[in-house]
Amino acid sequence: MANKLTDMSKIRKVIKLYCGGNSKQFISSYLSLSRNTVKKYISLFESEGLSIECIENKSDSELEELFCSGKAAPVNVKLDALYCFFPQMERDLKKVGITVTHMWEKYIALHPDGLGSTQFRHHYKIWSKRVNSSMHMDHKSGDKMYIDYAGKTLSIIDTSTGEAKEVQFFVAILGASQYTYAEASMSQKKEDFVRSVENAMRFFGGVPAAIVPDNLKSAVTKSCRYEPEINETLQDLADHYETTILPARSYKPQDKALVENVIKILYTRVHAHLHGKEYYSIEDLNKAIATLMNSHNRRKLTARPYSRLDLFTEDEKQELRPLPNKHFEIRYQSFATVMQNGHVQLSEDKNYYSVPYQYIRKKVKLSYTSGTVEIYYKYNRIALHKRNYKQYVYTTTSEHLASTHRFVSQWSAERFIEWAEKIDSSVKEYIVHIIESRTHPEQAYKSCMGILGFEKKAGGERLIGACKRALDFEVYSFKAIQKILENNLETAPFEDRNQELPDHHNIRGKHYYN
């Protein structure tokens, strides 16, 4: 009697392990049963159309009668036809609007004497667990792209030091087809992360309805079960590609099962092949990864007559939304206070951009890409400029400035030199010296403005004479010209004017050395 009880216990364990997705070979080894015995129990279980709940509810005597009476399986032919139907059914279920009920109706139309709807669903559940025990979610074509970094990193050789440098391994997978993209990147920082996500979509040739990252710091700034905070740069990417970010839910392993499973596979199909080989640039490493990934995507899926590439090209590619023409540009931010002259400094480039004069002394946000600079005040954009990389340059929109500032905004070295040249070559020479004597040209603009203004105040001839005398003494300042004109030194004999110039220990004049 004890042996019979033991046999019935093992039958229950066989069926439970089988319904849990374990292989017949594993069950045989784990329970110390012959493979033929395991096959017999499973065949009888399937042929009778039983469920695990039904087995648990049967008494030992009922199980003995069912499994030990030598009863043959009467519906094996039906099951064979059913299980041959499942691979295509799995593909069709990934299409929007297709349900298991639709597929049963299609099956029963092909096999009028086939199994009923309840048994149909039961056997499909068993089949799907057996062929892919890690997959418990239905994925619609074009719906989600799952992304993550592998725990194990790769490396490249630093050509300057000869040392191995660790690099990250990024993976993206489309839910329905399991078509996979992978690349090496220098870090998991948001710039590298966002660029890898974009590269994945460009590789797939389309945009999924949603991107599902794990709760990486590069993707999620603050985890929350209901409304996690998305990294602003990643959100900008999603806006550019018109998709949605759906972070994997904390403590919900099924959300990450797909990408984690493919990472485990890639450890064997990618990492193992790269081990022991040396790569001297991220580009060379990614070329090797691309070759291995091509083989991975072309390999037939377990217990299925098709590959990931087949599923992608035939079922999922057309469901992805078109890519935008322009690539995404990463946006950076900084804060500054608007200066009195109506401009704000972009500290990274050390240059200046105008804003409407009403915002003078206000604190504003600069949001900039490689091509544009946007300036915001309290979430409202108040200025937009083309980015200029030259240092100490003012980029100005005249409408931004008050009338008193508009004239000043037009100051430039070229303007003052041209103005001086129209008066006389000696005035031009003096203005050039003024500009060149300052650390930055803009420091000289007020001096230039004051000196050239003497043309109206004192007359052109007197200004020319004053500039010639100042050039003679090699003294370059507004005050020097002002002193000469105030004391009428522009026409005085040389020997009389030496004591009249502004007190300066270097003022001797070029005639002193003759």
The secondary structure of 228-255 as a DSSP string is: PEEPHHHHHHHHHHT-EE-PPPTT-GGG
Does residue 326 belong to any structural domain of this protein? Answer: no
Q: Nearest CA to 173 among 8, 343, 301, 75?
A: 301
Hey, what are 345's tokens?
A: 């400094």
Decide the pairing of beta strands 144-149 and 164-174. antiparallel
* Residues 303 and 340 both lie in one domain: no
Number of domains composing the chain = 5
Those residues whose C-beta lies under 8 Å from the C-beta of residue 59, and which sit 6 or more positions away, are: none
pLDDT score recorded for residue 503: 46
Which helix H or strand E contains 169, and what residues bound it? Answer: strand 164-174
**Domain-located, residue 408:** no
Q: Who contacts 465 (Cβ-Cβ below 8 Å, separation ≥6)?
A: 490, 491
Question: Per the domain annotation, does 138 fall within a domain?
Answer: no
235 and 161: one domain? yes
Q: How far apart are CA 346 and CA 356, in angstroms?
A: 16
Distances (CA, A) of 247 to 53, 145, 204, 224, 261: 35, 11, 20, 10, 18
Tell whether 407 is covered by a domain.
no
Task: Note the pLDDT of residue 514.
Answer: 33
**One domain, residues 358 and 273:** no
User: From CA 432, how far away is CA 438, in angstroms rounded?
Assistant: 10
pLDDT score, position 202: 96
Structure tokens at 448: 């230039």
DSSP H helix total and E strand total for the chain: 21, 15
pLDDT recorded at residue 86: 80
Do 167 and 314 reside in the same domain of the chain? yes
For β-strands 180-185 and 164-174, DSSP reports them as antiparallel
Are 451 and 434 within 8 A, CB to CB?
A: yes
Residue 34's pLDDT is: 83
- 107 shares a domain with 160: no
The span from the CA of 45 to the CA of 301, in Å, is 26
What's residue 363's pLDDT?
95
The reported pLDDT for the residue numbered 369 is 87
Residue 477 sits at φ, ψ, to 5 deg, of: -165, 160
Place of tokens 């322009």: 326
- Give the CA angle between residues 73, 78, 81 to the nearest 5°: 135
The CA distance from 306 to 298, in Å, is 9
pTM for the whole structure? 0.54
Q: Mean pLDDT of successive 10-residue segments in the chain (514 residues)?
A: 56 79 80 81 71 67 65 55 78 75 84 83 75 57 90 89 92 92 92 93 95 67 50 86 79 63 88 88 95 93 81 90 92 89 88 90 92 93 93 84 56 83 93 80 76 91 92 90 90 57 42 33
Burial track 116-141 (b if 16+ CB lie within 10 A, e otherwise) = eeebbebbbebbbbbbbeebeeebbb
Q: Could you give the count of Cα atoms lying within 13 Å of 106 in the half-sphere of its Cβ?
A: 12
Query: What local confidence, expressed as pLDDT, does residue 443 receive?
Result: 63
Q: Is residue 208 part of a domain?
A: yes
Residue 139: inside a domain, yes or no? no
List the domain range (segments joined by +) for residue 430: 413-513
Residues 452 and 500 placed together within one structural domain of the fold: yes
The predicted pLDDT at position 409 comes to 54
Residues 465, 497, single domain; the answer is yes
CA distance 113 to 108: 7
- Look at residues 260, 286, 319 and tell me which one is the last residue of a structural domain: 319
Question: 382: which 2 tokens?
Answer: 């108040």
* 188 and 293 fall within a common domain: yes
To the nearest 10 degrees (0 to 180), the angle between helices 60-67 and 35-47 is: 100
**Which CATH number is 255's domain given?**
3.30.420.10
108 shares a domain with 20: no
Could you tell me if residue 349 is inside a domain? yes
Tokens 């300066």 locate to: 504
Tell me, yes or no, whether 211 and 304 share the same domain.
Answer: yes
Of 360, 380, 402, the one marking the end of a domain is 402
Identify the helix (H) or strand (E) that includes residue 171: strand 164-174
The DSSP call for residue 437 is T
Answer yes or no: do 312 and 380 share one domain.
Answer: no
Residues 6+ apart with CB under 8 A from 290: none
pLDDT score, position 76: 54
Name the domain boundary from 45, 67, 89.
67
User: Is residue 136 included in any domain, yes or no?
Assistant: no
DSSP 443: G
3-class SS at 164?
strand
Within 10 A of 303 (CB to CB), how many other CB atoms are there?
Answer: 12
Q: Are residues 305 and 168 in the same domain?
A: yes
Query: Pairing relation of β-strands 244-245 and 210-213?
Result: parallel
Alpha-carbon span 131 to 300, nearest angstrom: 12
With residue 182 as reference, give the H or E element that holds it. Answer: strand 180-185
Tokens of 445: 């603009």
Q: Are 355 and 400 in contact (CB under 8 A)?
A: yes
